[in-house]
Amino acid sequence: MYPGMELFSGSFFALSFWFHGWSPLLIYALLLGALTHILIVSDIKYMVLPTPIILFFLAAFVGYFFVAPPDPLWSPIAGGLLGAGMTALVILVSKGGMGGGDLKLFGLLGVVMGVKVLLLTFFLSALLGALVGGVLLITKVISRKQPIPFGPFILISACIAHFSGTMIIDWYLGSF
């Protein structure tokens, strides 16, 4: 996992600077990249998304909002409630298919990204998780009852959603 995560993080930080230059959005992207690196390693290695880390990044992103206020101002609250609410519903319906760490992470991402980009992240993470999980099952790398950490799919999807903005959403809605 060592060289892969360093390559991912280095590429992510370089891409962030290329996309945003020396702007407030660079701070946002670097925070997202650091969050992604830390939590992917934690979830793959220990199957835990630690609450103190999520709370630290919540505080950091709220601090970022003082530099670059969200537009509209209600978006972080609605996003946080929607992110945690959708995940709580999945946990209840699936009887534990996701964990409390996933719920807190989606709540954080909802606060950070707002409703529109959160919905894209939610959809992409389900799609990535299903595709990778399906391949792992077909190739018998895992068994049907073996849990798969979902945090990496959530975080990779959040990174994709960050860089694509609403481009994927606009493309999808324009298809109808």
Model confidence pLDDT, tens digit, residues 33-55: 999 999 999 999 999 999 999 99
CB of 87 within 8 A of CB of 107?
yes
CB of 98 within 8 A of CB of 87?
yes
Structural domain spans, the chain: 2-174
Q: How many angstroms separate the CA atoms of 131 and 82, rounded?
A: 24
Q: How many angstroms separate the CA atoms of 48 and 46, rounded?
A: 5
Which amino acid, 69?
P
Model confidence pLDDT, tens digit, residues 84-117: 999 999 999 998 789 999 999 999 999 999 999 9
Instruction: Tell me the mean pLDDT in the region 59-74.
Output: 94
CB of 28 within 8 A of CB of 158?
no
Q: Pick from 69-73, 94-98, 124-128 the range whose average pLDDT is largest.
A: 124-128
In percent, the amount of the chain with pLDDT more than 70 equals 100
Q: What is the DSSP letter of 73?
A: T
Supply the pLDDT for residue 71. Answer: 87
Provide the pLDDT confidence category of residue 149 given band limits of 50, 70 and 90.
very high
Look at residue 1 and tell me whether its pLDDT is greater than 80.
no
Supply the pLDDT for residue 75. Answer: 92
CA distances from 115 to 77, 86, 157 (A): 9, 12, 15
CA distances from 22 to 19, 28, 37 (A): 10, 11, 22
Both tokens of residue 96? 């534990």
Question: Mean pLDDT in the chain?
Answer: 94
Which amino acid, 163?
F
Going by C-beta distance under 8 Å and a sequence separation of 6 or more, which residues neighbour residue 174?
none
CB of 154 within 8 A of CB of 32?
no
Q: How many angstroms separate the CA atoms of 103 and 26, rounded?
A: 26
